[in-house]
Amino acid sequence: MSNINYKNALVTGATSGIGLETAIRLSESGIHVIAAGRRKEKLLELKNKISCDIIEIDIRDQDKIYSEFGKLDIDILINNAGVGRGFAPIFQAEPEDINTTTETNITSFLHLLRAVVPGMVKRKKGHIINIGSIAGLYPVSSSVYGGSKGAVHMINQNLRVELSGTGVRATEICPGRVNTEFFDVAFSDNPDKKKQMTSGLNLLEQEDVADAIMFAINSPWRMNVSMIELTPTEQVPGGSIIKKVE
């Protein structure tokens, strides 16, 4: 584990995927984990697997964010909770998907930082891991989801400036396609789109992203890993699409 004396970690979205794997890794490294998520039965399963505290919460509940997390001494924040609704073009997007995505991926994301970071600054110790996405760095034909993750990218960049001189580190992890429940939720009403997004290449596994997170945390205090971009070998972001108006 890092030579920094980190003791406690809060992991949001800890019931599956990247959050679940990271919670397990942190616990195995001797960090006390507070696991937060919506599904109580999944949290209880995790509690049976590792020694942790659990908090059942819909991350969009801002009052509960402050009442539950604002009182905790958190050394590591894994700001992971997010949703992938809103992959349709903006001119076809459902208003509900716009609200769900922006409230979860941006608004609640910011409130979580507001609740937890003051304690880190006061103690002059902490590490914030913000889970972004390749979709926040490159155009992916998704104004809603991509825009929300683009906001995460700029939040992390500004956070680095704001935290200068506090001893608190901030890292953005930007994965490409990962073999998790993400696509089940994102395309619950469009199985063909889910198949398109998950077929034809070897996806990253949640362990791969957890490896990147632990690398950033375990880095010596003098080094802040500002951003890690990781994609499946067969996924190359970027490029351009040219279509004639018909």
Kindly list the catalytic residues: 145
What is the b/e burial string over 51-67, where b = at least 16 CB atoms within 10 angstroms of the residue's CB? ebebbbbebbebebbee
DSSP-assigned beta bridge partners for residue 230: 175
DSSP secondary structure, 223-240, as one string: ----EEEE--TT------
Q: Are 82 and 102 in contact (CB under 8 A)?
A: no
DSSP-assigned beta bridge partners for residue 170: 128
Give the closest residue to 163 by CA, choosing from 105, 200, 123: 123
Q: Are 12 and 36 in contact (CB under 8 A)?
A: yes
Continuous segment of H or E residues that includes residue 43 = helix 40-49
